[in-house]
Structure 1
């Protein structure tokens, strides 16, 4: 059972919950009147934030982190940006892993060029470089860096180490650049939501099941959006820290800002096993702690879960799915048509029902969520002595690091998996984002990975290929494999198995990881491949701007995977203009062409050319603008012109900054939304010099219309709650835009045209 409290709650002595309005119970439990604001200070999260805040004001946080991490889809752009901004060395430990772009392009070395750039950067600036296939980013950080009371910033949305007492945040590259320049991460103090755990998981129930149950309860209602989830309660003790890690990493899918857990002797044991017992300290809430909300979870009631395509919140108990297969699978088929158009019609899930059971075509256990030691061991135990079969179904297992791989090899688990027919591979995040193990057309893959957004498995609707992913726990993936592809909850094979003690061997890290922190060789050169390109020039904001509507998306949520696809685009992550060609390619293939036409006009304006000459459409637009009171003398060449995307709720998903930068480098100047799905995407928009407009009303404009926003710089520095704008179509219609709170630095970044421009101006 997962229950959400309606309002705040007090936690007394770590085990008594009282709703905030029940003052009599609070006084009876504590013997005194309680001050809510003082009680807020009792949370673990509050005290970690306080220790890392440099502003002196706990309502307006300016945070500095203890360490950072990036992978090879993001670190090239971050380092290029920081270099252009004047960085001379890494001022804090910065880990560069190579777990996303691990596979080199056939016939070329595009990805390996990025890796060599990363190694050269680690040498030049004093970084830590983890070569391909050695560890996925978050497992390495758990093993080597996370510790009680720390804060870590990563350029990957699943940067979560809360089970080790670390508050970790996944953000776009711009926020990491700020830390490299010794600036701060600025955010209003977030609300803190208690996740109170009671009871113990049943045999056969794994961390993904717990996580999916919570995600299903909180995602759609935004209960924890941009807040901190603090895990407390007696149920924590029923799980090992390795198991807790598997729950914690999935908190990203709730859209929370960060997470943190109470720590205990098992946390200490985990850190001790990894040679870092000094990073342990007990973290627990004060005797009286106030939380802004509360999620109550009875672990004993959680059953094996499945998140059907196309979102981790599309959650059902596997038993419930099996009882309602035809109805629930038909709903997914309908959604597939909405997402994939003609290609979506090819996804036939109902046809996979055999004798009342669901047949799937593939199983994957991988990455920071699935490839942990205990998950691999549990899967191997379920499959030992059994066969995955010789038909369509196949199982692939990726231990999350070489130390995990070594241990599961030594204790026989890898042999048990391989004997069953499973294929065991090296540490790689590809199955999480569509760069590995793509199922056949019309295939259904079950995965213990992090996401099942559209095309996360690598299908290409634009080319007529459509497949889908459902998320499950490694235990139930293995149970399904044992049943040769017939969907099966792990509880059917559960017994009293106990995962053997883990023995950590970091020899591979000592032999292969380059650790140069504190030893920068500033005289050495960066190594560039031909696909690594600098960021193009971006324009400073003008007083008046003109936006052309280049895409209008009315879906309830627009993910970062739709804004810029993952998977096959990874080879272009270090080439801003090359990557930008894929912007919205799976959602609105005409967008790039429309935006680039606008960009040609803006470039001509900057060069001093007469932009109205030979452009009858634009001349007509400015003629109409001149009829608006106060703008009869507007000069077209003094007005910045850019493209705009409207989406109801953009930005759910990845932290990667390219979801915004790809818009910017081909002419993007603003987004208009009803709301932004995550703080990190909105931050990316601002760091790339685009305006994060909000529109409360329904959008009364179409693709091809123009929107004139006058005096925007004055509004940025004044009242952002009501910004007059004008739709210039067949006629002129006034609308009211607004922008949510921005820091002074964010305003300056947008005015400068990008974080790079802003930092360059500071150097001057």
Structure 2
């Protein structure tokens, strides 16, 4: 009996077998790109030399770099807008909303495959899509019609029973899974939800769970398409997109776990990891200086209405700054029409525009060392924009109650008024503001605007036969891509120029890294467990490539970053636990290229002082081909990837759209 994940993948399977660990290629229905990763994805798409996108729908969202402290952000926006018009993408401008919420509202469809250049693309699993985050180059290749390659995951069935009681929320569901699995336990897995408890979860609640499931290291999550899905699509005037989908009765899973919704209590993730989870009631009194609600998770209408219901008639504690971010312009309209906006404002909340903002360290950086409580999805060190931050993650009701108290508290003892009924959403706002697709004949005459901030990424040379290099840095466990390509207004504004962006790599860990790498002409990066967790940003692979790094050795890797290294032509080797390394140590790895091509599972490194290291070569056949070719772009250009056709009758085809309209 088939689970839902395998049903979705089988319907789109172009090659391979649905066996965990096997290389598979799937046809892609939809592509999501956002501006922070979008410029690199777009420039690499242009390098493929195709005339148009070759998927039914692709949408470019501007939601990250919108602060515009200088002209770099707008340079990027002009490039992305004209790139989208030229190649057939729809374009959502700055201020219209966060990609994942808009996509859920307007584009996501049950039964489809969505690939996005953002790790939280998984949000669309709430509508019964197989939605996967990836690096920009892999997304560009998929958008060009080559399909999407990945290693078939294992499928964990999560049986939900009961229903949420009291003040436990959907955020507590995913925090409970993080409590069980940490930030590494989900690697190589898809979490598929089933059971009688599923029906009680709204689409917004499911989106919260699917968005944040990737913090376990998982590939994605998926819910069935059912009555809740139909209600959501009907409210968005998209009832025709509905398609009932579920696992077969008695479906087979690689593993099964159970979660009783009625037994959940409010939970909180302590600094500095989403996996550091405890019950709120178990915390000692922790006073906070800041509470932030919203981001790509927990900025739905019901999330904001929950916060307003707790705050109504009260004022935020005088020592606390409270910010609220709606997920989209549609949600902003809805909270205004329903009175939620007024309730939040009267309580003292600062209302922010619907963009990513403080979630990625752009604005609202907290005081160093002072606790900041957020409904966001990540609390990695420094992600808030403050190097010595102290960020906690929680549900909307915990956030609201704590904003009143001035300290993190369990909302169980707080009087919560009735939620204001939602005013009917206005789905038409998306067609008013998201640019449509021009006819192909008109697209070819469009000139793409390229400001000086737009610099094409480096291209790897062929993988050297042998490696002779020194260790540049040794990192600890759970190092995030935010440590390699930092968040924040200043660093993110230069993500379109790898040479400038490189100056920020490992700045929090080792301010001398960039200069040392430049002086040594490259080298080897040594990491610990779960190296490269977090964002899909391929800058974390393109910067080392630019600096001359062709080998990384870590004990284990986060999925997307590992694939980004391979796509960039950098070999992610597996480091033995007993390895004893120091910065400056010289490694000579003879025959690395031939060992990869031969299918060897290990290679020897001769180390200073006469010792040897045995390094693992843990790659699928497809990954070995890409590395041997010198990276994914070279692999595609030399014919290593065949173009795929696409079934135009797919249930996840492109939505109708008005013609492209330039920004005023």
- Shorter-chain TM-score range: over 0.9
Distance change in 2, residues 1:442/1:674 (3 Å): closer
User: Hey, what's the Cα distance between the residues in 2 that align with 1:752 and 1:593?
Assistant: 29
Choose which of 418, 424, 436 in structure 1 pairs with 2:351: 424
Larger CA Rg, structure 1 vs 2: 1
Return the alpha-carbon distance in structure 2 between the equivalents of residues 377 and 495 of structure 1: 11
Q: Distance in 1 between matches of 2:571 and 2:128?
A: 36
Do residues 102 (structure 1) and 66 (structure 2) align? yes
Q: Shift in Å at residue 291 of structure 1? A: 1.1
Partners of 1:236 and 1:697 in 2: CA distance: 41
Please give the alpha-carbon distance, in whole angstroms, between the structure 1 residues aligned to 2:450 and 2:483. Answer: 29
1:733 match: 611
Aligned residue for 1:203, secondary structure, equals coil
Q: Could you tell me how far apart the structure 2 residues matched to 1:407 and 1:294 are?
A: 39
Q: CA deviation at 1:556?
A: 2.6
Partner of 1:563: 484
Using the TM superposition, give the Cα deviation of residue 219 of structure 1 relative to its aligned residue in structure 2, in angstroms.
2.0
Out of 446, 453, 464, which is 1:542 matched to? 464
Q: Does the CA contact (< 8 Å) of 1:365 and 1:396 recur in 2?
A: yes
How do residues 410-559 of structure 1 correspond to structure 2 at under 5 angstroms? 410-460=337-387, 466-483=388-405, 485-495=406-416, 497-498=418-419, 500-501=421-422, 503-516=424-437, 519=440, 521-553=443-475, 555-559=476-480
Q: For the residues of structure 2 that align with 1:533 and 1:282, how far apart are their CA atoms?
A: 45
Instruction: Tell me if the contact between 1:203 and 1:494 (Cα under 8 Å) persists in the aligned partners.
Output: no
Q: Secondary structure of the equivalent of 2:146?
A: coil
Kindly indicate whether residue 11 of structure 2 is the aligned counterpart of residue 83 of structure 1.
no
Equivalent in 144, 149, 153 of residue 111 of structure 2: 149
Partner of 1:188: 151
2:287 corresponds to 1:359: yes
Asked if the contact 2:601/2:618 (under 8 Å) is kept, the reply is yes
Does the aligned pair in 2 maintain the 1:543–1:712 contact within 8 Å?
yes
Quote the offset at 1:243 in angstroms: 1.7
Go from structure 1 to structure 2 and tell me whether the alpha carbon gap of 1:238 and 1:588 turns closer, same or farther (over 3 Å shift). same
What are the ranges of 5 or more consecutive residues in structure 1 without an aligned counterpart? 1-38, 326-356, 461-465, 600-641
The aligned counterpart of 2:546 is 665
Aligned to 1:302: 264
Q: How much has 1:419 moved relative to structure 2?
A: 0.5
* Contact in 2 for aligned 1:561/1:653 (Cα 8 Å): yes
User: Aligned partners of 1:61 and 1:517: how far apart in 2?
Assistant: 33
C-alpha displacement at 1:756, in angstroms?
3.3
Q: Mean Cα displacement is larger for which, 300-309 or 499-508?
A: 499-508
Contact 1:204 1:494 in 2 (8 A): no
Pairwise mapping of residues 20-35 of structure 1 onto structure 2 (< 5 A)?
Answer: none
The Cα shift of 1:259 comes to 1.1
- Count of residue correspondences: 633
* Aligned residues of 1:267 and 1:280 also touching (Cα < 8 A): yes
TM-aligned CA deviation for residue 498 of structure 1: 4.7
Normalising by structure 2, what TM-score? 0.92
Query: SS at 2:42's partner residue?
Result: helix
| Alignment deviations for residues 502-545 of structure 1 (CA, whole Å, 9 cap, x no partner) | 52203432222112176460221111111111223432122222
Contact map agreement 1:86 1:763 (CA 8 A) in 2 = no
Q: CA deviation at 1:278?
A: 1.9
Quote the residue 2:238 is aligned against. Answer: 276
Q: Are the aligned partners of 1:549 and 1:645 in contact in 2 as well (CA < 8 Å)?
A: yes
1:761 offset after TM fit, Å?
3.9
Counterpart Cα distance in 1 of 2:286 and 2:479: 29
Deviations 1:356-388 (A, max 9, x none): x32100111111212111000111111111111
Q: Which residue in 2 is equivalent to 1:198?
A: 161
Counterpart Cα distance in 2 of 1:202 and 1:118? 45
Q: Please report how far the alpha carbon of residue 46 of structure 1 lies from its aligned counterpart in structure 2 after TM superposition.
A: 0.5
The question of whether the paired residues in 2 share the 8 Å contact of 1:90 and 1:125 is answered with yes
Distance 1:700 1:482, change over 3 A: closer
Please give the alpha-carbon distance, in whole angstroms, between the structure 2 residues aligned to 1:196 and 1:98. 36
Structure-2 residue corresponding to 1:603: none
CA contact (8 A) 1:204 1:493 kept: no
Structure 1 residue 494: deviation in Å? Answer: 4.8
Contact 1:431 1:449 in 2 (8 A): no
Gaps of 5+ in 2: 642-664
CA distance 1:696–1:502, change in 2 (3 Å): farther
Is the CA contact (8 Å cut-off) linking 2:52 and 2:144 kept in structure 1? no
Within 5 Å, give how 1:645-664 maps onto structure 2. 645-649=525-529, 650-664=531-545
Find out whether 1:674 has 2:555 as its counterpart.
yes
Distance (Å, rounded) in 2 between the aligned partners of 1:287 and 1:517: 45
Structure 2 CA distance for partners of 1:517 and 1:738, relative to 1, 3 Å: farther
Q: Could you tell me whether the CA contact under 8 Å between 2:338 and 2:422 is conserved in 1?
A: no
Provide, for residues 581-628 of structure 1, a one-character-per-residue CA deviation record: whole Å limited to 9, x for no partner.
1111111222211211233xxxxxxxxxxxxxxxxxxxxxxxxxxxxx
Residue 61 of structure 1, aligned match among 12, 20, 24? 24
- Deviations 1:319-376 (CA, angstroms, capped at 9, x unpaired): 011xxx2xxxxxxxxxxxxxxxxxxxxxxxxxxxxxxx32100111111212111000
Q: Note if 1:48 corresponds to 2:8.
A: yes
Q: Counterpart of 1:372?
A: 300
SS at match of 1:158: helix
Counterpart contact for 2:293–2:325, Cα < 8 Å: yes
- C-alpha contact 1:539 1:753 (8 A) present in aligned 2: yes
- Aligned residue for 1:595, secondary structure, equals helix
C-alpha contact (below 8 Å) 1:547/1:669 kept by paired residues: no
Deviation of the 1:253 alpha carbon:
0.8
Q: Distance in 1 between matches of 2:604 and 2:201?
A: 54
Q: Secondary structure at the match of 1:124?
A: helix
Map Cα deviations across residues 191-246 of structure 1 (whole Å, 9 max, x no partner). Answer: 110111111111322221121111111125x4432211100011112222222211
Q: Find the aligned partners of 2:189 and 2:408 in 1 and give their Cα distance.
A: 35
1:118 to 80, 83, 88: 80
Secondary structure at the residue paired with 2:282?
Answer: helix
**Alpha-carbon distance in 2 for matches of 1:578, 1:244:** 39
RMSD: 1.8
1:74 aligns with 2:37: yes
Rounded to whole Å, the distance in 2 between the matches of 1:648 and 1:232 is 35
TM-score of the pair, normalised by structure 1: 0.80
TM-aligned CA distance change 1:253 to 1:518, over 3 Å: farther
Residue in 1 that maps onto 2:96: 134
1:690 paired residue among 550, 567, 570: 570
Q: Distance in 1 between matches of 2:210 and 2:602?
A: 39
What is the aligned partner in structure 1 of residue 655 from structure 2? Answer: none
Superposition map of 1:400-411 within 5 A: 400-411=327-338
The question of 1:216 aligning with 2:154 is answered no
Show CA shifts across 1:83-108 (max 9, x none). 11212211122111111101102xx2
